[in-house]
Each structure stands twice: as C-alpha cells, then as structure tokens.
Chains A and B, each alone.
Chain A
Amino acid sequence: MAADVYILGGYQTDFARNWSKERKHILALMREAVQGAMSATGIESEAIEVAHVGNFAAELYCMQGHLGAFFVETDPAFSGLPTGRHEAACASGSIALLAASAEIEAGRYDLSCVLGVEQMKTVSASEGGAFLGTAAWYELEAKGIDFPFPKLFGKLGDEYERRYGLKDEHLAAISAINYANARLNPNAQTRNWYMNQDHAEARDEYNGQVGGRICLSDCSQVTDGAVAVFLASEKAAREYARGRGIPLESLPRIQGWGHHTARLRFVDKVAESASSPYVLPHVRATITDAFTRAQIPDVSAIDGIETHDCFTTSEYMAIDHFGITPPGESYRAIEAGEIALGGRIPINPSGGLIGAGHPVGATGVRQLLDAYKQVTGTAGGYQIEGARRIATLNIGGSGTTSVSFIVGR
C-alpha cells in the first residue's frame, strides 16, 4: 500500500489573459502561480522542499528551456531548491504530478510544489498549430500540414462514426455545455464569449471547419496560463491541518492514478484497437487502473469529471471510456443531460479545455486543482453540489500519453 499523497490547494492564473500583450516573460506567469498558491494556502516558501514543472514547448513558444531552473526565480527563498521539468505534450502537467507524488510516496520529500505552465500567444495561430504538431509523430503526421491536431481528432470522430455512428449535434452539445460552464468560472478564457448550441451547430464563416469534421466550436483554446498546487505527505498534511485547526480527513488525497502510453501514430492506435470495444483501449486502461487504485468499482463512485476535451471528439470518447455509457453510446449521456452541471455525472464543470482554456503544460495541474476545489466545496459558481470524489483525465498527443487521477476526501 503506497503512502498517502495529500493536496493542500493551489492557484490558477486567469486564462483569459494574454501575457504577450502584457509584454510579459514566462517567468511572470510562473511567479504569479507560485506566489498565488502560497498566498492561497498560507504555505511559506521555506517549507517547500522540491518543485516539479510541467511544460510542453517553451523552447518553441518562448525560446526558453530549463524551466525547472526558472522555478527558482519565482521567490528569493528558492535558491538551491531541487527542481525539474517534465514533458509529455498536453499531459505534461499530469506527468509532473505523478513524479511529485511518487517522490512523496517514496518518502523523499514531504512538501512539493507542482507548477504547470504554457505561454502560447507568442506566435500566430498557424505557427502555434505547427508547434503542437510535435506532440504527434511530426515527420509522419504533421509536417507540411496546417493544423494537424484538429485533423487527428477529426479522425477520432470518424472512427466512432465508422464503428458506432456519430452525429455532429452531439459534438455541438459538448461544446455548448463546456462554454456554458465556463461562464460560471471566473478564470475561464471564454467566460464572455458568444456561444450557444445553435452557433456550435452552425457551419458558416463564423464557425468554419478546421480539420475534417472539427469546426472552430469543437476546438480547445490557445491559452496563456499557469497553475500551481501543493502535494504533501501525511506528515506535512497533518502539520498543515493542525496549523489551521482543521482535521486531517478534511484534506483531499490522490486516491488513485492511472498512466499508460500508446503508440504515437493515430493509425497505429486505431489498428491496435480493432478488436476492442474501446477506440482507445490504453485510455480505458488508464481510467480503470485509477479506479482500482482508488478501490472504487466504477464511475458510479465518482461525482464529477475534469476531462481532456482538446476537441469535442476527445470528450465524446471520454464518456464511454469512463464507463458512463456502454462503448459507442456516449450520445445517450449527452441527450439525457447527465454530463451537464446538475446532471448525474457532470463533465468539465470548469468549462474544460474548450471553455476554460488549454495552456498545454498547465492543463493536468489545472484539472487536479479543479478537482481539489470541487471536493473541498470551493469551486464557487461551478461547484458540483456535495462532490466528494472527482476524476481527471489528461491526454498527450492523439490519445498517446494518458493520465488519470481520482481525488477525494
């Protein structure tokens, strides 16, 4: 039995901000998240023993590597702090969380800060689209292709269509729900954007096709953002709880996790899954591993999900992969209103990657912080009433690296 890993809270920057327009360096983003997390929790910089940074491609977007070292620049007390940076495309944040929690389980450290960060608005949309292409097998799947990722996730929709049938109106509903939830989230990038089901279903100059069946309204956003959270051993969590006069049991824990990496190319993944009822079986295994480690039977033990909706098709895939419906029947949960806030199993109350935004390396950490907010009843306008256990699913590439956490009290 692994040692418990507690979550002590954290901080998210406002994902609507454009830090390039503010003429800021990525360090400013990192500093706000780290300093914000310390103010939000009352944790002093001297108490932090180690830091992990999740980031996808600062080398491309900001011409800057070695982001672990930049963590040290976020506070004068951090000189000498052990730090490192982790990369797994859009799952970078979750990989950083896994590394930090493994160290705590191993007893190396008691208090760890995990920071996810990406500054993406430094370049044009098409240039950024090419950078994102490096999360696929660039030479084989992305080179010379405009916006390769919408096309890859369009193919995920096509595969669903081939195996089970898929209607665009269901994808539009996923988009509309995420945007509606984002309106309730004061840190969501799209909280004031104009969106509704009609618009998501429209096929016109304002909702053009980006790749295959993927239209603008099906896409997550290009986002500048950073999120920091604190992970703690039982010892550090006990101390934290004592200092605040709260019981240890009131602090959320990572109850379970799953982590698998599939083959890089989308065609190889689909070929491998030909005999499986699940289009992306390694994603399914990631989720069931997390359930098993959390000692829960299935999704019925979960009160809500923060999933990786880089495109509406990835959320459509998550619905049956989580077991909310049998494989291929995700549309039933959408039609029954189950995934909306107030439904049986709300998905992305924060707005997800489509509504809240998708600063690539920060997303996994943002999901964990939102799970923390839900189970501590501090999610404000997007709170799931009475939430006690939340699952996350963070995906890098075209369903390649998958990480899931179960957060509960």
Chain B
Amino acid sequence: MADQGQSTERAQEEATSASPRGLDRRIEHVVILGANGTMGYGSGALFTRAAPRVSFLARSKEKAEAGLASAIAQVRSATVARRVETGSYDDLEARLADADLIFEAVAERLEVKRPLFERVDACRRSDAIVATVTSGLSIDALAEGRSESFRRHFAGLHFFNPPNVIVGTELVAGRATDPAILEFLERYAARELGREMVRVADRPGFAGNRIGFKVLNEVAQLSEEHGPLLMDRLIGPYTGRALPPLRTIDLVGWDVHRAIVENVYANAPDEAHASLALPAYMRTLIEAGVLGRKSGRGFFAKEGERRLVLDPKRMEHRPIEEIELPELRFIDEIAALHRVGRYREAMRCFAEAEGEHASLARKVIAGYLSYALHRVGEVCEQLGGIDRIMAFGFNWAAPGLLLDTLGARTCAAMMREAELPIPPLLEQALSSGRIETFMDPSITNQGRYFVAG
C-alpha cells in the first residue's frame, strides 16, 4: 500500500511539473529558514510582496521576531507583519506541511545547511520547491544525499544584499533540477518580486561573485604595494562603479570576502588563478578580528573624528591625512567628462592616459574584462548574462558596456599592455573585422555606472 501510495504521488507530481501547470503553480505560503540573518529577513520581506503567508523561522522564536523587526525596518512598512508568522525550527515539520516554497538562508556553510535540508527532505510536501540563497556553494553538493524529489525541486536563488534595493538575482540549477521548476522560479521572481534574473552555472561563486571578487581581490593584493587609498582612487567610481573596491570589501565583510575567494581559488583554477589568492596580510588581520565595517576596522576605520586607513605592510592603521596621493590629473579629466555625460570621450581619456598609475588602473580594468569574457560558456551561456549580473547585482559598468564605450580594439590593446590573455570572444570579434556592439542597449542606460568622481 505504502509503495502504491508513493508511486501515485510521484505520478501526480511528475504530471504537475512536466505540464504547463507547473508554471501555473501558486505560491501561497513561503517558509524562510534563517529569517534572522541579513539575507533571511531581506528576502522574507521581498516574498511578502507576492505571497499572502510567509513564515519566518530561526533557531528561536525570539530570533525570528527580531528578523521580522529588521524586515519591517528595511522596507519601511509595518504591513509586512500582517503577512508574516514567526517560529523556531522546533516547528519545522508543522510549518512545512503546507509550504509551497522553502527558502533557505542559514549560515553559508555546508555543514550547517546540509542537516537542515535533511530535515526538510523528510517533511516537505512532495511538490514544494526548495531554494537556497547561497552565494557560491555548490548546489549539487548541498543536495547530496537528498531524495530524488528534493533534488528535482531544488535550485539556487541568489539574491544580492539588500534584496529590496539590488534586483540582480542568480538562478542556479543542480544536475537534477527539473527545468520546469527553474522556469517557474525565473518567471515568478521576475514578475512577482521584480527581479532581474540571470541563469548561471553551478560553478564556485557562480557568475557575479566569481568575476566581482576577482577584481576586488586583485585590488586588495595591489594595495599591499600601493596602499588602499591610492588603489581605491585608481579603481574608483569613475571606472564604472558606485563604491570603490576596498570600501566594497569593508562593506561585505572580510570574512565573507575570504570565503568567496578561497572557494573560487580552491575549486576553480583558471587563467587568473594567482589574482584570487587571498593576500597574506588579510588572512592575518582576519584572525585578529579585522572584518571590515561590522568590526569597526577594515581598509578604512574611524577613531572618534579621525579617519584612518590601513597600512597593509605594517598591518596597522594610520591617519588618512598622513597619506599623500600622487597627482592624478587624468582622473579629474575623466570625471569632468563624465559629469557632463561625455562618457565615450572620458573612457578614451582613460585608455590614452600616460604614467604608471594610469597603467595600473588599466591593468585592473583590463583584468576585469579579460576575466569576464573568459567566463562566457563557463558561468553563463552568453556575455549578456554576465553583463546583467555585474550591472544589476554589483552596480558596476558591465563588461559589455565597457567594451562598447572603450572600443573592442582599445580593450584588446589594454589587455596586451597588461600582458593578459585575449579572450576568444574578443579575438573572434576582432578577427572577423565586424565588431558589433557587445551590450544589449535595453539592459541599461549607458551613463549610470560612470560616476563623476
């Protein structure tokens, strides 16, 4: 009897997921696991936009309540509470009984996530979707040992922080993920949650963090010789980003940075392997509790009214006014052109600027482009996917946008100047003689990423 029951259930489930009805499924109840964490409450608030019931679960009901309070403060609406119930993992089985979507956002460690998934597997409804917000752990590794039904309904849904502001979202399939589930999640998140969805491969760091943290880490490496203040100025907002690289690392946290680059370094050796090695000074300082903004000290710090900056060689902070930056007239010129919307001329100025500092800035940007274009076919099928996640997830000028603004030949010349490999995609475009635009103009306004400063 039991067997028969299971196989009937299987047949029904398969009929649901294989037919177009799979796309019509309704999400009435979402359960958030780890609702007290930043990604947990942020995502939870987002789901209340679309689902009538969202359960916030954490290790204790008090923690879940705290998550709800944070969710309300984040989206600035007390109405979030009308759609949210809170509870602890003690209630897991009862809460999952009628859950349509189970969204996992617990600590970013395999050994924490896996046992929770085992419990979920044992009590989830057989057609319930399970999504993880992991920012780079392997979807297949997370699903290891789980039932076939679980694995078919399991996918990565990687929101960036804070999800109410940053809309770029990575959708990651495991080997066993049902394509109909993926398609459903893609449409649901785009239509109901306002997400810009990008399908990415189950590779370490997926697409955004793989490429983004490569650049961040290289800047951290270079700051050992050149200092954080100069590096953040050289790869500053004028190169196409809202926040300079080292201030970004301070914001996301040094420990998070370490977890991401170590994962990529260990599991995805590539042509730029060395640039993903965590600088030794960062490793030492993390052990000493330097974690960026959340610990009060990172590349930058404040001591009362005094603004401090890290000296990576001595591994100590110094008053910012003691650091004398060289004259960087080319950056001022570029910023002045950005300010009036002359982005192409500005970036021509970037390509042609003379001196060691301009070369250093070009080396990092060329490294970004070379690395991103090498990843086409590995992390995303097309450059468009990488462009969209760098724009909508990182708020950076996308590789395709920089290629179009600088010109493909100029970008190739920048790569040669920095002794970087020319990616096949660029090689082909150049040798065909027919260089079309790389960036889909509908993806973004051209100028928004070039900040005049």
Contacts and interface: CB of A to CB of B under 8 A. Distances in A.
28 contacts: A14-B448, A17-B445, A21-B242, A22-B447, A24-B339, A24-B340, A25-B340, A28-B338, A28-B339, A28-B340, A28-B341, A31-B340, A32-B446, A32-B447, A73-B340, A192-B165, A192-B194, A194-B45, A194-B75, A196-B79, A198-B79, A198-B82, A199-B77, A199-B79, A202-B78, A202-B79, A204-B78, A207-B77
A373 interface: no
Contact of B194 (A31, A73, A191): A191
B275 to A, nearest CB: 29
A29 B441 CA distance: 17
A363 interface: no
B445 A22 contact: no
Nearest to A74: B341
B339 A192 contact: no
Contacts of B446: 32
Q: Is the interface of A mostly helix, strand, loop or mixed?
A: loop
Contacts of B452: 22-24, 28
Interface string A183-203: 100000001101110110010
A17 B446 CA distance: 12
A23 B77 contact: no
A30 B80 CA distance: 39
Interface in A327-382: none
Given A14-B445, A32-B446, A191-B194, A24 B79 contact: no
A92 interface: no
A31 B446 CA distance: 12
Contacts of A223: none
Contact of A194 (B49, B335, B342, B447): B49
A-B pairs with lowest CB-CB distance, top 7: A28-B341, A31-B341, A194-B75, A23-B452, A198-B79, A27-B340, A199-B79
Contacts of B445: 13-14, 17, 32, 36
Interface of A: 13-14, 17, 21-25, 27-32, 36, 39, 73, 183, 191-192, 194-196, 198-199, 202, 204-207
Contacts of B249: none
A64 B82 CA distance: 48
B263 interface: no
A99 B342 CA distance: 29
Contacts of A30: 341
A29 B453 CA distance: 17
A295 B266 CA distance: 73
Contacts of A206: 76-78
A276 B167 CA distance: 49
Interface in B68-89: 75-80, 82
B164 interface: yes
A207 B164 CA distance: 18
Contacts of B339: 23-25, 28
B39 interface: no
B451 interface: yes
User: Which of the four size classes fits the interface of chain B?
Assistant: 20 to 34
Contact of A23 (B78, B79, B335): B335
A205 B445 CA distance: 35
A233 B68 CA distance: 59
Contacts of B453: 23
Q: Is the interface of B mostly helix, strand, loop or mixed?
A: loop
Contacts of A31: 340-342
A207 B450 CA distance: 34
Residue among A21, A22, A199 with the highest chain B CB neighbour number at 10 A:
A22
Interface string B423-453: 0000000000000000001000111101111
A17 to B, nearest CB: 6
Contact of B338 (A24, A36, A183, A202): A24
A399 B223 CA distance: 58
A12 to B, nearest CB: 10
B392 to A, nearest CB: 11
Given A17-B448, A199-B79, A24 B341 contact: yes
Given A192-B165, A196-B79, A28 B194 contact: no
Contacts of A14: 445, 448
Contacts of A25: 339-341
A298 B262 CA distance: 68
A199 to B, nearest CB: 5
A406 to B, nearest CB: 30
A83 B272 CA distance: 53
B282 to A, nearest CB: 29
Contacts of A204: 78
A39 B441 CA distance: 10
B340 A22 contact: no
Interface in B321-343: 335, 338-342
A252 to B, nearest CB: 22
Nearest to A191: B194
A194 B49 CA distance: 7
Given A24-B338, A28-B339, A194-B75, 13 more contacts: A14-B445, A22-B450, A23-B339, A23-B451, A28-B340, A36-B445, A191-B194, A195-B77, A196-B79, A199-B77, A202-B77, A202-B78, A206-B78
A27 B76 CA distance: 34
Interface string B43-69: 001000100000000000000000000
B62 to A, nearest CB: 23
A27 B77 CA distance: 36
Contacts of B242: 21
Interface string B135-170: 000000000000000000000000000001101000
Contacts of A27: 340-341
B415 to A, nearest CB: 28
Nearest to A31: B341
A31 B344 CA distance: 13
Contacts of A36: 445
A38 to B, nearest CB: 13
A139 to B, nearest CB: 36
Given A14-B448, A199-B79, A194 B164 contact: yes
Residue among A29, A32, A192, A195 with the highest chain B CB neighbour number at 10 A:
A192
A27 to B, nearest CB: 5
Nearest to B195: A192
Nearest to A16: B448
A39 B79 CA distance: 43
Contacts of A183: 194
Contacts of B450: 22
A30 B447 CA distance: 12
A202 B167 CA distance: 26
B27 to A, nearest CB: 16
B164 A192 contact: yes
Interface string B329-361: 000000100111110000000000000000000
A32 B294 CA distance: 38
A22 B194 CA distance: 24
A27 B337 CA distance: 11
A226 to B, nearest CB: 10
Nearest to A34: B341
Nearest to B194: A192
A31 B343 CA distance: 11
Nearest to A198: B79
A13 to B, nearest CB: 7
A347 to B, nearest CB: 22
Contacts of A13: 445
